[in-house]
Chain A
Amino acid sequence: MLTLSHVSKTFNAGTINEKRALIDCNLHLVPGDFVTIIGGNGAGKSTLMNMVAGVYPIDAGTITLDGVNISQLSEPARAKYLGRVFQDPMMGTAADMQIVENLAMAKRRGKTRTLAWGVTRVEKDEYAERLRALGLGLEKRLTSKVGLLSGGQRQALTLLMATLTKPKLLLLDEHTAALDPKTAAKVLDLTEQIVAEHQLTTLMVTHNMNDAIRMGNRLIMMHEGRIIYDIAGDEKCSLTVKDLLQKFEEVSGGELANDRMLLS
């Protein structure tokens, strides 16, 4: 499915701000994998996501998705294969546009845009149906501006948009980090529901160790640009937060997980 081989990325190379964000990362996902990614600040989790999405070019290595080498493709060109939800609820939707307009744009992800009408009548019914499934009452607000929605509603909408056209890979970059605990739980429930329903291959970055253990079938821990721990199946099921912390200290050479990881 998704294969990263020897992927590296350094930001601001040769300057005092040099940051080796990814160092020789290798990762292979099989179809239907739901991988959670944890790690401290600056571990390279988001960079990993951005490299797969094509936000920045990689320095070395190759990224293959379903047999296609996408390493050199631009961000919009890769969008055909990827559904993405960002940490910032503002980032996934266009605030000044209507809910239906946002959905209609997402529906056309990866297709050539034409001078055909941006939202057709048939679509609206479909969107209302899909929004109803979210259980947030958004189906009654089809023509509302997205800017009027709460952060949680916007994330739920972005999640729906990312999966409206089934993506080969769903990228969730700490998509609940900016939400309050209750809303975050709701959005995570929706995530599980949607991923299960469409059997999506998923990469999910999170700061919450409980979520990372509870969700998905595989867990990856990153530290200083490297994947330092990769666990799946039954072994992952029996994992506890304590195990993870211990593992973290072990592989990272005694360094403690940062506060944010401990607290969540």
Chain B
Amino acid sequence: MGLAMLGAVSQGILWGIMVLGVFITYKLLDIADLTVDGSFALGGCVCAVLVVGGVNPIVAVLAAMLAGMVAGAVTGFLHTVFEIPAILAGILTQIGLWSINLRIMGKSNTPLLNFDTIFSQMTDLTGLPSNVAAIIVGVIVAVVIIVGLYWFFGTEIGSACRATGNNEAMVRALGVNTKVTKMIALTLSNGLVGLSGGLICESQKYADIGMGTGAIVIGLAAIVIGEVLWRVLPGAKLHAFGGRLSSAVVGSVVYFLIRAIVLQLGMDANDMKLLSAIIVALALCIPVVWEKFQLKRAYTRSLKDTSTEGASTEGGR
């Protein structure tokens, strides 16, 4: 049980880097970018093929990131230049990537059993158990990326990217080409997704054509969980940007912990996707239902108030 939990934490952190990518598009740009499923697998495939080809595992992971960036740029290109709706542009890239990923690997999966990875090197170097090594590597990468994103979204270009998701008309009126900012955000986002795919591939020691399936839903679920935690946890600075980014990664860890627990309780691994979908659907439903409920309650209350007022004036007569 403890080992499974440790594994879940390490997986959660490595997937958390993908969640940061999803955060950029979903939370900052206000786009649900479906490229993610494809670019995650792309990262894994590129990384696996390079590692098998004898490339340094760190270089392989960086190449996975670059590949993800290219995938994001393709979606961005379809969306901004040809004005294809973002969701559709993402789906097109995602579907295309399936074939590309198969071409890259030449088969549907590539095992890395006897090859050096970042994680095996870390284990060899420190003598730590592989899960702990994975957690350390994951935390280092996640911290570097969170700091980097915090810096980037504080710059002039980064501010413009954030504002694009907020109010496109305003950003254009202030002289920023929103096509460029969307392109930047989509490229950056999918770069992180590709990087995460590469890291996951090295940590699980294989890449699979289906490894990205449902990644976007995992990303959304993790963001939703992270946001809830951020609100609930005491002392958390509610709107600080760095906190929001960190909470996305923490959300990812919690997601994988929940998953591990549910699996330990005997749930079929294949049902996990349904559970993820339900978590996200609920998270999206609850605010809407809650608001409707509030409105209705306010109305019934006002009805009651006026009826009691009427009664009292009548009584007064």
**Contact (Cβ within 8 A) B175 A115:** no
Q: B157 to chain A: which residues have CB within 8 Å?
A: 113-115
Cβ of B177: which chain A residues have Cβ within 8 Å of it? 74, 76
The residue on B at minimum CB distance from A54 is B172
A76, A105, A109, A110: which contacts B159 (Cβ < 8 A)?
A105
**Residue pair A79, B169 in contact (C-beta under 8 Å):** no
B155 touches A80 (CB 8 A): no
Known interface pairs A97-B163, A97-B166, A145-B239; A106-B174 also in contact (CB < 8 Å) = yes
Segment touching B, from A87-95, A200-208, A231-239 = A87-95
Is A79 a contact partner of B175 (Cβ separation < 8 A)? yes
Q: Is A31 an interface residue (CB 8 A)?
A: no
Max chain B Cβ within 10 angstroms of own Cβ: one of A53, A79, A109, A110: A79
Most chain B CB within a 10 A radius of its CB, from A53, A97, A105: A105
B118 adjacent to chain A (CB < 8 Å)? no
* A95→B156 contact, CB < 8 A: no
Decide yes or no whether B176 CB sits under 8 A from chain A: yes
Q: Distance in Å from the Cβ of A120 to the closest Cβ of chain B?
A: 10
Question: Contact between A91 and B167 (Cβ–Cβ < 8 Å)?
Answer: yes
Residue of B nearest to A108 (CB): B156
Q: How far is the CA of A69 from the CA of B174 in the complex (A)?
A: 20
With A91-B167, A115-B157, A117-B155 as given contacts, are A97 and B175 in contact (CB-CB < 8 Å)? no
* Minimum CB distance partner of A161 in chain B: B174
A248 is an interface residue with CB less than 8 A from chain B = no
Given known pairs A101-B159, A113-B156, the reply for A94 and B175 (CB within 8 Å) is no
Contact A79 B174 (CB under 8 A): yes
Partner of A108, one of B169, B174, B239: B174
Those of B139-156 within 8 Å (CB) of chain A: 152, 154-156
Asked if A61 is at the interface of the complex by the 8 Å CB criterion, the answer is no
Distance A97 CA – B162 CA, assembled complex (angstroms): 8
Measured between alpha carbons, how far is A122 from B173 in the docked complex, in Å? 24
With A79-B172, A113-B176 already in contact, the answer to whether A105 and B167 are too (CB < 8 A) is no
**In contact, B155 and A116 (Cβ under 8 angstroms):** yes
Contacts of B167 in A (CB 8 A): 90-91, 93-95
Interface string of A56-98 (1 = CB under 8 A from B): 0000000000000000001111011010101000111111110
Q: Mark A106-139, 1 if CB is under 8 A from B, else 0.
A: 1011110111111100000000000000000000
Judged by a CB distance under 8 angstroms, whether B158 is at the interface is: yes
Report which residue of A106, A113, A115 has the largest number of chain B beta carbons within 10 angstroms of its beta carbon. Answer: A113
- Is B160 on the interface with A (CB-CB < 8 A)? yes
Smallest CB–CB gap between B283 and chain A, Å? Answer: 19
Q: In the bound complex, do residue B170 and residue A91 qualify as a contact, i.e. CB atoms below 8 Å apart?
A: yes
Which chain B positions have C-beta within 8 A of A261? none
- The reply to whether A109 and B166 contact each other, CB–CB distance below 8 Å, is no
Least CB separation from A143: chain B residue? B239
Whole-angstrom CA separation of A115 from B159 in the bound complex: 10
Complex Cα spacing A80 to B163, Å: 18
- Provide the residues of chain A in CB contact with B163, threshold 8 Å: 94, 97, 101, 105
- Say yes or no for A29: interface residue by CB 8 A criterion: no
Q: Report yes or no: A91 in contact with B169, Cβ–Cβ below 8 A.
A: yes
**How far does the Cβ of B164 sit from chain A's closest Cβ, in whole Å?**
9
B176 partner residues in chain A, CB cutoff 8 A: 76, 79, 105, 113
| Contact A92–B173 (Cβ < 8 Å) | yes
- The reply to whether the CB of A179 lies closer than 8 angstroms to some CB of chain B is no
Contact assessment for B173 and A84 in the assembled complex, using a CB-CB cutoff below 8 Å = yes
Q: Which residues of chain A are within 8 angstroms of B166 by Cβ–Cβ distance?
A: 94-97
A104, CB-defined interface residue at 8 Å: yes
Closest to A171 in B: B173
Complexed CA–CA distance, A76 and B163 (Å): 14
9 closest Cβ contacts across the A-B interface? A79-B175, A118-B159, A94-B166, A113-B156, A94-B163, A76-B177, A110-B175, A115-B155, A109-B174
Known contacts A79-B174, A109-B174; 18 further A-B pairs (Cβ under 8 A): A76-B172, A76-B175, A76-B177, A76-B178, A77-B175, A79-B172, A79-B176, A91-B167, A93-B167, A93-B170, A95-B167, A97-B166, A105-B174, A115-B156, A116-B156, A118-B158, A118-B159, A119-B154
Residues of B near any A CB (own CB < 8 A): 152, 154-160, 162-163, 166-167, 169-178, 239
13 A-B pairs whose Cβ atoms sit less than 8 Å apart in the complex: A79-B174, A82-B173, A95-B167, A105-B159, A105-B163, A113-B157, A113-B160, A114-B157, A115-B157, A117-B156, A118-B154, A118-B155, A119-B154
